[in-house]
Structure 1
Amino acid sequence: MAHELGESDWGDWLPTAIADADPDGVAVWYLGCNGFVLKGSDGTTLFIDPYCGLGDPPRTVRMIPVPFDPEDVEDADAILATHEHSDHVHGPTQAPILAGTGANYYAPDASMAVVERVDWTDDWGVVADQLVTVSEDETFEVGEFTIHVVPVNDPDADHPVGYVIEHEAGTVFHGGDTRHADSFTDIADRFDIDLGVLAFGSAGRLLDKQTREPKRTQWYADENGVIRAANDLELDRLLPSHWDVWKGLTADPTVLHNHARSFEYPQELEVVEIGDRVDL
């Protein structure tokens, strides 16, 4: 079965560390792939695109550990989905978190269509009121966070969105799998972004979904594209994501130092591995 839930050999230390954390501002944990957890000083906990699936071998092969069992997550106030792809909307990962915590699920319409088709309410006991469809230029509150839905550019998705997440300690941007977008200069005018997450990867030869023949594939921005996006967004700190997960599309985020050197932004490159924490 494609994108089946993986078994974690990390135990419950990561969700326990998140639950026990008492950040002064906002703590941010990287879950690998494009998944993140944000926890504020008052305890509000947001998940963004968590994914504990194994991919669809041999087409997509997961290269990193599964960091937790979704049923071990006891504290969550919301899950945000950026777009409908299986490593961003994943029932076996996300629905048990919703059912176990009562968190709300915020997602654009194409993502919500996946939720409805797979029927998270019947299969996992998610309550329909937990499912909230969002679109660009909406703003909503989750505990101590103010969340803005913003337009992005993912040419492989039906309806992608990004999120600008404001807190008194700072502002985080998560662009999903976006590449450079014309909207980024406007976003920079509206928000002072302290930490920005941008997907980064190489091009490789993956099996075509229909023909199963090898095909040149590029799903994420390359080095120059990531730095162009970071510069237009005027990011203080750039955190590259997604470079670690798929065999054939992995990349080395440390090379971004060279590509960023002559630009004003990002002012700092934040290279992290799965399970790492950074703070605002």
Structure 2
Amino acid sequence: MNEHNRRRGAALINEVNQTEVPYGTLAIWFLGQESVIIKGDGVTVYIDPYVSDYLDKNGPERSYPAPIVPEDIVGADLCLITHEHEDHMDAGTLPAFHKQNSKAPFMAPACCKGPLITMGVKEPLILVADDSRETELFSKLQISVIPAAHEQLEQDAEGHYRSVGYVLKLNGVTLYHAGDTVVYPGLIERLRAFKPDVAMLPINGRDFFRRERGIVGNMNYREAAELAVSIGAETAIPLHYDVFAGNAEKPGYFVDYMYEHFPEQKVHVMARGERFVYVSGQAFMNRP
């Protein structure tokens, strides 16, 4: 990695660690694919951190370098993994993440536990994603696990789902990160009950030809837009459209569809490495 990129990554992580957001807001950073950083009330959460060049050596090349590298990541409190695919559970990132943030727990589907241990993550720090209950961490973050159908709902013998998304309640804001999923019966009703402020949704879609190449798909931009509106999300953010040229989508299609069909729906397309501060109505009320 060249000196410019090294300095850029260190500057971004310094920005994350120095950012303080008032009640009713969340700070969000976009690292590409579905990799994001969420911060609120002093808690910093990484979701699917894929910032290495691991896949460059084993499969498709990235369309652009990640805004940070694994060695940049310090100050993390929690890592959430949605499923075992390499661009979500990154063997090039997670060992460094764990080494540099040794007290940060991981939450992941049960099928990810063995691979995480192989990567060096200590077993007591691994929390199995359980959709039957809400998990509270740090006395300020509530996490609900949402089953994800990538492209189908898959469960092991104990009923644990292979792919999941997460609903985070933090700092007076409710955020849904879908992971990789299509829309399936019951998903809308389950999410609607949370009244999410922010919905982060994959838009790259799926088709016969990608499936023949072993690429498992997601909802497309139309489905993602309809889902965001159906669950009452205040703001929708598209994900999973930019890292691999053979499995990409134009986020402008998502924006155009929203503008044409739901012109009052708020949408935000994040730039690479951008800090976006979401402000909810709670920001203008007294903190409970």
TM class, shorter-chain normalised?
A: 0.7 to 0.9
Name the stretch that deviates more: 225-234 or 104-113. Answer: 225-234
Does the C-alpha gap of structure 1 residues 201 and 74 become closer, same or farther in structure 2, counting only changes over 3 Å? Answer: same
Corresponding residue for residue 79 of structure 1: 79
Name the stretch that deviates more: 155-164 or 86-95. Answer: 155-164
SS at match of 2:115: helix
> What amino acid is aligned across from residue 34 of structure 1 in structure 2?
E
The structural deviation recorded for 1:231 is: 2.6
Corresponding residue for residue 232 of structure 1: 230
Identity %: 24
Does the C-alpha gap of structure 1 residues 204 and 58 become closer, same or farther in structure 2, counting only changes over 3 Å? Answer: farther
Distance in structure 2 (CA, Å) of the matches to 1:171 and 1:135: 18
> What amino acid is aligned across from residue 132 of structure 1 in structure 2?
L
* 1:120 lines up with 2:116 in the alignment: no
Distance in structure 1 (CA, Å) of the matches to 2:50 and 2:207: 22
* 1:35 lines up with 2:35 in the alignment: yes
> What amino acid is aligned across from residue 275 of structure 1 in structure 2?
G
Q: Which runs of 5+ in 2 are unaligned?
A: 155-161, 279-288
* 1:69 lines up with 2:43 in the alignment: no
Distance in structure 2 (CA, Å) of the matches to 1:202 and 1:37: 24
Conserved? CA contact 2:107–2:126, under 8 Å: yes
**1:48-76 CA distances to partner (integer Å, 9 max, x unpaired)?**
00101332568422112222222222211
Distance in structure 1 (CA, Å) of the matches to 2:31 and 2:97: 15
Distance in structure 1 (CA, Å) of the matches to 2:31 and 2:153: 22
Distance in structure 2 (CA, Å) of the matches to 1:224 and 1:173: 18
2:202 to 178, 199, 202: 199
Corresponding residue for residue 151 of structure 1: 147
The structure where helix makes up a greater share of residues is 2
Does the C-alpha gap of structure 1 residues 199 and 174 become closer, same or farther in structure 2, counting only changes over 3 Å? Answer: same
Conserved? CA contact 1:181–1:229, under 8 Å: no
Distance in structure 1 (CA, Å) of the matches to 2:86 and 2:119: 14
1:132 to 124, 127, 134: 127
* 1:21 lines up with 2:19 in the alignment: yes
Distance in structure 2 (CA, Å) of the matches to 1:206 and 1:174: 27
Name the stretch that deviates more: 182-191 or 243-252. Answer: 182-191
Corresponding residue for residue 12 of structure 1: 10
Corresponding residue for residue 167 of structure 1: 170
> What amino acid is aligned across from residue 191 of structure 1 in structure 2?
F
Does the C-alpha gap of structure 1 residues 114 and 216 become closer, same or farther in structure 2, counting only changes over 3 Å? Answer: closer
Aligned residues: 263
Corresponding residue for residue 279 of structure 1: 277
Does the C-alpha gap of structure 1 residues 16 and 264 become closer, same or farther in structure 2, counting only changes over 3 Å? Answer: same
Corresponding residue for residue 158 of structure 2: none
Report the TM-score when normalising by structure 1.
0.84
Conserved? CA contact 1:137–1:150, under 8 Å: no
Conserved? CA contact 1:200–1:221, under 8 Å: yes
Name the stretch that deviates more: 227-236 or 256-265. Answer: 256-265
> What amino acid is aligned across from residue 176 of structure 2 in structure 1?
F
SS at match of 1:39: strand
* 1:180 lines up with 2:179 in the alignment: no
Report the TM-score when normalising by structure 2.
0.81
